[in-house]
Amino acid sequence: MEVGGIQALRRWRAEQTGRVGLVPTMGALHSGHQALMTRARSESDLVVASIFVNPLQFGADEDFVQYPRPIEEDLKKCEEAGVDFVFAPALAEMYPSAPEVRVVAGRMGAVFEGAARPGHFDGVLTVVAKLFTLIDPDVTVFGLKDIQQYVLVKRMIADLNFDIELIGLPVVRDADGLAMSSRNTYLAADDRARALAIPRALNAAAEVAERGRGATGSGASVAGAAAGSGGAGVDLPAAVEAAALAELEPVAERGELEIVYCSLVEAATLRPCPPGFTGSALLLVSATVGGTHLIDNLPLEF
Ligand code: PAF
């Protein structure tokens, strides 16, 4: 495995003829990242993992400085996962000066995580576009935990004509159900227990969606879909959202968690699902627990 910055990458890349897979990361790698690398391995001849904590995607009050950077452990994990080249550029190489020209994420970048973190997705898309240009991959693998990021990268690939196949890998969870995240290391034990309200909310929503589908066959608007309601004409998207909120709200009322958003949206547009919606949807959930910002989501078909 080689490790290097821009010059070493350019030299290495010029020598390669096989299909190249890219896994972009900010380091602090866990087994979720290794799953992305393993998938990239199975989709290509050579795997590049990038490790770069991108300042452009952090707000002024966010954790850019304290973001974990365990580079030696990260390199071991890359080696274990069969990575061929770790692109780990220095900050001054990637941004010799503050970039004037950036990718703008647009409406889908201004909602949910974008509303809570203004400019975040412009920063993400700018660095991802730079990584695509530098590494020139044939395929790239992203985790679906950061679902809004995935939707935006997909849109950028289409809108800016990158000739790159995008693969999304389902959320990888710890045994207790919490979605794996580099930021989970910030959670104290009692906060981690509180954070489990998030996977419980997704499970409750999944159950209501499943029951609703059973009730209608198609799953649009159902009678009695909401947990034990037995009522007529319940709107399934609203019932699904309500089921998730019913898990989160009591924990929030005890002051143990702050709900940032809990919304059912159309997967392609991130717009709220109207009553009777049919098609692919996403339940997006974000909460702050003990000062740590957590996100999770559930894909649903109606
Ligand atoms: O998902 C991440 O870790 C980052 O947003 C990414 C895609 C590596 C860009 O910095």
3-state secondary structure of 174: coil
Confidence of residue 212 (pLDDT cuts 50, 70, 90): confident
101-118 pLDDT, tens digit per residue, is 999 999 999 999 999 889
Told to judge if 33 belongs to the known catalytic residues of this protein, a careful annotator would answer yes
Comparison of pLDDT for 245 and 61, the residue scoring more: 245
Which one, of 35, 40, 8, lies nearest residue 164 by Cα?
A: 40
Ligand 1 centre from 120 Cα, in Å?
11
Confidence of residue 183 (pLDDT cuts 50, 70, 90): confident
237-281 pLDDT, tens digit per residue, is 999 999 999 999 999 999 999 999 999 999 999 999 999 899 999
Domain boundaries, the chain: 2-169, 182-301
**Does domain 2-169 correspond to CATH entry 3.40.50.620?**
yes
Nearest ligand 1 atom to the CA of 128 is 9
Query: Across all residues in the chain, what is the average pLDDT?
Result: 92
What superfamily would CATH give domain 182-301? Pantoate-beta-alanine ligase, C-terminal domain (3.30.1300.10)
Between strands 20-25 and 2-4, the pairing is unpaired
Beta strands in 139-291 (DSSP E): 139-143, 165-169, 221-222, 234-235, 258-266, 280-289
Indicate the pTM of the whole model. 0.89
| Backbone dihedral angles phi then psi of residue 243, each to the nearest 5 degrees | -65, -40
- Position 135 pLDDT exceeds 60: yes
Ligand 1 centre from 124 Cα, in Å?
6
Share of the chain above pLDDT 90, in %: 86
Per-position DSSP letters for 140-156, written without gaps between them: EEEETTSHHHHHHHHHH
User: How buried is 155 (Cβ within 10 angstroms: 0-12 exposed, 13-18 middle, 19+ buried)?
Assistant: middle
